[in-house]
């Protein structure tokens, strides 16, 4: 298990766990980051990570990406 921020570009990963405070978990779950779901990194730029989750492209900060374990 590793943080999403360490995953390779384009590789499809399965979300194992969401860390952080309960508000952070709820926020990420509302965006589609749920355990068992699939996520892939499209690009990393300037501390932001653009990911593909549930057929949507979402930009999150690298600190948020560290809370998503794959």
Query: Are the CB atoms for 13 and 64 separated by under 8 Å?
Result: no
Phi, psi angles (nearest 5°) of residue 20:
100, -175
Whole-prediction pTM: 0.89
pLDDT of residue 44: 93
Query: pLDDT, tens digit, for every residue of 1-48?
Result: 999 999 999 999 999 999 999 999 999 999 999 999 999 999 999 889
CATH of residue 23's domain is 2.30.30.90
Task: Give the number of domains in the chain.
Answer: 1
Q: Report strand pairing: 68-69 vs 17-18.
A: antiparallel
High-pLDDT (> 70) share of the chain, %: 100
pLDDT of residue 64: 93
Q: Which domain holds residue 46?
A: 4-69
């Amino acid at each position: 298990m590793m943080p999403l921020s360490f995953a390779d570009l384009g590789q499809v990963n399965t979300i194992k766990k969401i860390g952080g405070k309960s508000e952070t978990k709820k926020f990420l779950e509302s965006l589609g980051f749920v355990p068992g779901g699939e996520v892939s990194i499209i690009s990393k730029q300037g501390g932001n990570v653009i990911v593909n989750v549930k057929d949507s492209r979402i930009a999150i900060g690298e600190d948020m990406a560290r809370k998503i374990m794959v």
